Amino acid sequence: MALFPLLQPFALLLLLLCQSTSAQSTTTTSAASTTTSTAATIYPGNSKYTYLGCYNETTTLNNTAMTRALQGTSESNDTMTVEVCLAFCAGSTYAGLEYTKECYCSPYISALSVKLDDAQCNLPCVANGSEICGGALKVSVYQLKSSTSTGKSAAPGSMGGSGRAAAGSALALGAVVGGLLWL
Ligand SMILES: *[C@@H]1O[C@H](CO)[C@@H](O)[C@H](O)[C@H]1NC(C)=O
Ligand SMILES: *[C@@H]1O[C@H](CO)[C@@H](O)[C@H](O)[C@H]1NC(C)=O
Ligand SMILES: *[C@@H]1O[C@H](CO)[C@@H](O)[C@H](O)[C@H]1NC(C)=O
Ligand SMILES: *[C@@H]1O[C@H](CO)[C@@H](O)[C@H](O)[C@H]1NC(C)=O
Protein backbone atom coordinates (compact mmCIF):
# COMPACT_ATOMS: atom_id res chain seq x y z
CA MET A 1 0.00 0.00 0.00
CA ALA A 2 2.84 2.38 0.91
CA LEU A 3 4.58 1.40 -2.32
CA PHE A 4 1.77 2.65 -4.50
CA PRO A 5 2.49 6.41 -4.34
CA LEU A 6 6.12 5.61 -5.04
CA LEU A 7 5.25 3.67 -8.15
CA GLN A 8 2.97 6.34 -9.51
CA PRO A 9 5.73 8.52 -10.99
CA PHE A 10 7.14 5.46 -12.74
CA ALA A 11 3.78 4.58 -14.17
CA LEU A 12 3.42 8.13 -15.41
CA LEU A 13 6.88 8.05 -16.96
CA LEU A 14 6.06 4.76 -18.67
CA LEU A 15 2.85 6.23 -20.01
CA LEU A 16 4.66 9.30 -21.35
CA LEU A 17 7.31 7.10 -22.94
CA CYS A 18 4.67 5.02 -24.68
CA GLN A 19 2.93 8.12 -25.94
CA SER A 20 6.08 9.69 -27.34
CA THR A 21 7.08 6.41 -29.00
CA SER A 22 3.74 6.05 -30.67
CA ALA A 23 3.83 9.71 -31.72
CA GLN A 24 7.28 9.13 -33.17
CA SER A 25 6.25 6.10 -35.17
CA THR A 26 3.28 8.01 -36.62
CA THR A 27 5.60 10.82 -37.72
CA THR A 28 8.01 8.32 -39.27
CA THR A 29 5.22 6.66 -41.21
CA SER A 30 3.92 9.92 -42.66
CA ALA A 31 7.45 11.10 -43.44
CA ALA A 32 8.14 7.84 -45.25
CA SER A 33 5.02 8.13 -47.39
CA THR A 34 5.98 11.72 -48.31
CA THR A 35 9.43 10.60 -49.39
CA THR A 36 8.03 7.98 -51.72
CA SER A 37 6.09 10.62 -53.68
CA THR A 38 7.82 11.28 -56.99
CA ALA A 39 7.58 15.07 -57.12
CA ALA A 40 10.86 16.93 -56.85
CA THR A 41 10.94 19.63 -54.20
CA ILE A 42 13.05 22.72 -53.62
CA TYR A 43 16.15 21.97 -51.58
CA PRO A 44 15.96 24.70 -48.90
CA GLY A 45 19.71 25.06 -48.42
CA ASN A 46 22.36 23.98 -45.95
CA SER A 47 24.46 25.63 -43.25
CA LYS A 48 26.18 27.86 -45.85
CA TYR A 49 23.60 28.61 -48.53
CA THR A 50 19.92 29.44 -48.50
CA TYR A 51 17.43 29.18 -51.37
CA LEU A 52 16.77 32.61 -52.88
CA GLY A 53 14.38 31.87 -55.73
CA CYS A 54 13.90 30.93 -59.36
CA TYR A 55 15.47 33.37 -61.82
CA ASN A 56 15.42 33.79 -65.60
CA GLU A 57 18.50 32.94 -67.56
CA THR A 58 19.60 35.98 -69.58
CA THR A 59 21.47 34.43 -72.51
CA THR A 60 18.53 34.78 -74.89
CA LEU A 61 18.23 38.55 -74.36
CA ASN A 62 19.53 40.72 -77.19
CA ASN A 63 22.67 42.80 -76.81
CA THR A 64 23.93 41.09 -73.67
CA ALA A 65 26.70 39.09 -75.36
CA MET A 66 25.18 35.90 -73.95
CA THR A 67 25.92 36.99 -70.39
CA ARG A 68 24.46 34.57 -67.89
CA ALA A 69 22.23 35.39 -64.94
CA LEU A 70 25.07 33.97 -62.84
CA GLN A 71 28.26 34.72 -64.75
CA GLY A 72 31.32 32.91 -63.44
CA THR A 73 32.72 29.46 -62.79
CA SER A 74 30.51 26.66 -63.92
CA GLU A 75 30.25 22.89 -64.02
CA SER A 76 27.90 20.52 -65.78
CA ASN A 77 27.86 16.78 -65.39
CA ASP A 78 25.65 13.77 -64.70
CA THR A 79 26.29 13.57 -60.97
CA MET A 80 24.99 17.10 -60.33
CA THR A 81 22.69 17.76 -57.35
CA VAL A 82 22.06 20.96 -55.37
CA GLU A 83 24.45 19.72 -52.67
CA VAL A 84 27.20 19.08 -55.24
CA CYS A 85 26.73 22.55 -56.76
CA LEU A 86 26.77 24.32 -53.40
CA ALA A 87 29.98 22.51 -52.52
CA PHE A 88 31.45 23.34 -55.93
CA CYS A 89 30.57 27.05 -55.54
CA ALA A 90 31.75 27.21 -51.91
CA GLY A 91 32.54 30.83 -51.09
CA SER A 92 30.73 32.36 -54.07
CA THR A 93 27.94 34.75 -53.10
CA TYR A 94 25.53 33.01 -55.47
CA ALA A 95 25.21 29.44 -56.70
CA GLY A 96 22.58 28.33 -59.16
CA LEU A 97 21.32 25.22 -60.89
CA GLU A 98 19.84 25.12 -64.36
CA TYR A 99 18.41 22.53 -66.72
CA THR A 100 18.92 19.51 -64.37
CA LYS A 101 22.73 19.52 -64.29
CA GLU A 102 24.31 22.91 -64.88
CA CYS A 103 25.88 24.64 -61.89
CA TYR A 104 26.89 28.32 -61.95
CA CYS A 105 28.82 30.29 -59.32
CA SER A 106 28.90 34.09 -59.30
CA PRO A 107 29.50 37.11 -57.08
CA TYR A 108 26.30 38.75 -58.42
CA ILE A 109 23.00 38.12 -60.20
CA SER A 110 22.63 39.95 -63.50
CA ALA A 111 20.36 42.97 -63.16
CA LEU A 112 18.64 41.70 -66.33
CA SER A 113 17.54 38.50 -64.64
CA VAL A 114 13.92 38.52 -63.48
CA LYS A 115 12.80 36.64 -60.38
CA LEU A 116 10.06 34.19 -61.31
CA ASP A 117 7.56 31.98 -59.52
CA ASP A 118 9.25 29.01 -57.87
CA ALA A 119 7.12 26.75 -60.07
CA GLN A 120 9.01 27.97 -63.16
CA CYS A 121 12.03 26.01 -61.94
CA ASN A 122 10.47 22.63 -62.58
CA LEU A 123 13.19 20.17 -63.53
CA PRO A 124 14.58 17.51 -61.16
CA CYS A 125 18.34 17.19 -60.71
CA VAL A 126 19.96 14.66 -63.02
CA ALA A 127 21.49 12.79 -60.07
CA ASN A 128 18.65 13.24 -57.55
CA GLY A 129 15.07 13.19 -58.79
CA SER A 130 13.82 14.35 -55.39
CA GLU A 131 15.13 17.89 -55.74
CA ILE A 132 14.71 20.74 -58.20
CA CYS A 133 17.65 21.80 -60.37
CA GLY A 134 16.28 24.84 -62.20
CA GLY A 135 14.39 24.63 -65.48
CA ALA A 136 14.91 25.33 -69.16
CA LEU A 137 16.60 28.77 -69.11
CA LYS A 138 15.57 29.07 -65.46
CA VAL A 139 17.98 29.06 -62.54
CA SER A 140 17.36 27.86 -58.96
CA VAL A 141 19.48 30.43 -57.12
CA TYR A 142 21.10 29.97 -53.71
CA GLN A 143 22.75 32.74 -51.70
CA LEU A 144 25.70 32.53 -49.35
CA LYS A 145 24.40 33.00 -45.79
CA SER A 146 27.16 35.30 -44.59
CA SER A 147 26.46 37.57 -47.55
CA THR A 148 24.22 40.54 -46.84
CA SER A 149 23.85 41.71 -50.46
CA THR A 150 20.27 40.87 -51.33
CA GLY A 151 19.92 43.10 -54.36
CA LYS A 152 21.32 42.81 -57.83
CA SER A 153 24.59 44.21 -59.04
CA ALA A 154 24.61 45.89 -62.43
CA ALA A 155 28.17 44.88 -63.19
CA PRO A 156 30.72 42.38 -61.92
CA GLY A 157 33.17 45.21 -61.26
CA SER A 158 30.92 46.82 -58.68
CA MET A 159 31.93 44.46 -55.89
CA GLY A 160 34.58 46.73 -54.41
CA GLY A 161 35.47 48.36 -51.13
CA SER A 162 32.29 50.43 -51.13
CA GLY A 163 30.32 47.22 -51.58
CA ARG A 164 31.92 45.88 -48.44
CA ALA A 165 31.13 49.08 -46.58
CA ALA A 166 27.53 48.88 -47.72
CA ALA A 167 27.41 45.26 -46.64
CA GLY A 168 28.73 46.31 -43.25
CA SER A 169 26.02 48.92 -42.74
CA ALA A 170 23.38 46.49 -43.97
CA LEU A 171 24.63 44.11 -41.30
CA ALA A 172 24.43 46.87 -38.70
CA LEU A 173 20.90 47.70 -39.86
CA GLY A 174 20.02 44.01 -39.65
CA ALA A 175 21.31 43.96 -36.08
CA VAL A 176 19.21 47.01 -35.20
CA VAL A 177 16.09 45.55 -36.80
CA GLY A 178 16.83 42.22 -35.16
CA GLY A 179 17.20 44.00 -31.82
CA LEU A 180 13.87 45.78 -32.28
CA LEU A 181 12.15 42.53 -33.17
CA TRP A 182 13.65 40.95 -30.11
CA LEU A 183 12.01 43.65 -28.00
C1 LIG B 1 11.72 35.98 -67.97
O2 LIG B 1 10.53 35.43 -67.48
C3 LIG B 1 9.37 36.14 -67.86
C4 LIG B 1 8.21 35.46 -67.18
O5 LIG B 1 8.20 34.09 -67.46
C6 LIG B 1 9.23 36.15 -69.37
O7 LIG B 1 8.13 36.94 -69.75
C8 LIG B 1 10.49 36.73 -69.99
O9 LIG B 1 10.41 36.64 -71.40
C10 LIG B 1 11.67 36.01 -69.48
N11 LIG B 1 12.89 36.59 -70.01
C12 LIG B 1 13.85 35.83 -70.49
C13 LIG B 1 15.06 36.56 -70.93
O14 LIG B 1 13.79 34.63 -70.55
C1 LIG C 1 16.32 40.44 -80.78
O2 LIG C 1 16.95 40.62 -82.05
C3 LIG C 1 16.29 39.98 -83.13
C4 LIG C 1 17.14 40.12 -84.38
O5 LIG C 1 17.62 41.45 -84.50
C6 LIG C 1 14.89 40.57 -83.29
O7 LIG C 1 14.20 39.93 -84.33
C8 LIG C 1 14.13 40.39 -81.98
O9 LIG C 1 12.87 41.01 -82.07
C10 LIG C 1 14.90 40.98 -80.83
N11 LIG C 1 14.22 40.65 -79.59
C12 LIG C 1 13.96 41.55 -78.65
C13 LIG C 1 13.26 41.04 -77.43
O14 LIG C 1 14.26 42.73 -78.76
C1 LIG D 1 30.68 16.71 -61.34
O2 LIG D 1 31.13 17.96 -60.81
C3 LIG D 1 31.34 17.95 -59.42
C4 LIG D 1 31.76 19.35 -59.04
O5 LIG D 1 32.92 19.73 -59.70
C6 LIG D 1 32.41 16.91 -59.06
O7 LIG D 1 32.55 16.87 -57.64
C8 LIG D 1 31.97 15.56 -59.58
O9 LIG D 1 32.99 14.61 -59.34
C10 LIG D 1 31.71 15.65 -61.06
N11 LIG D 1 31.23 14.36 -61.55
C12 LIG D 1 31.75 13.78 -62.62
C13 LIG D 1 31.11 12.49 -63.03
O14 LIG D 1 32.70 14.24 -63.22
C1 LIG E 1 18.26 13.72 -52.66
O2 LIG E 1 17.45 14.85 -52.38
C3 LIG E 1 16.74 14.75 -51.15
C4 LIG E 1 15.88 15.98 -51.06
O5 LIG E 1 16.66 17.16 -51.17
C6 LIG E 1 17.74 14.65 -50.00
O7 LIG E 1 17.04 14.52 -48.79
C8 LIG E 1 18.64 13.43 -50.22
O9 LIG E 1 19.63 13.40 -49.21
C10 LIG E 1 19.30 13.52 -51.58
N11 LIG E 1 20.06 12.31 -51.83
C12 LIG E 1 21.30 12.34 -52.28
C13 LIG E 1 21.93 11.01 -52.53
O14 LIG E 1 21.89 13.39 -52.48
Domain definitions of the chain by residue range: 39-182
Contact 97, 125 (CB under 8 A): yes
pLDDT band, residue 146 (cuts 50/70/90): confident
Distances (CA, A) of 144 to 64, 92, 123, 137, 171: 26, 7, 23, 22, 14
| Lowest mean pLDDT across 41-50, 52-61, 101-110, 164-173 | 164-173
Pick the range with the lowest mean pLDDT from 4-8, 127-131, 135-139.
4-8
Does any ligand 4 atom lie closer than 6 A to the CB of residue 128?
Answer: yes
Choose which residue among 73, 74, 75, 86 to substitute to test ligand 3 binding: the one with the highest number of ligand atoms within 8 A of its C-beta: 75
Backbone angles phi, psi at 180, to 5 degrees: -65, -40
Ligand 1 pocket check for 113: Cβ under 6 Å: no
Residues with C-beta less than 6 Å from any ligand 3 atom = 75, 77-79, 84, 88
SS3 175: helix
Read off the pLDDT of each residue in 87-102 and give the average, rounded to a whole number.
98
The pLDDT value recorded for residue 152 is 57
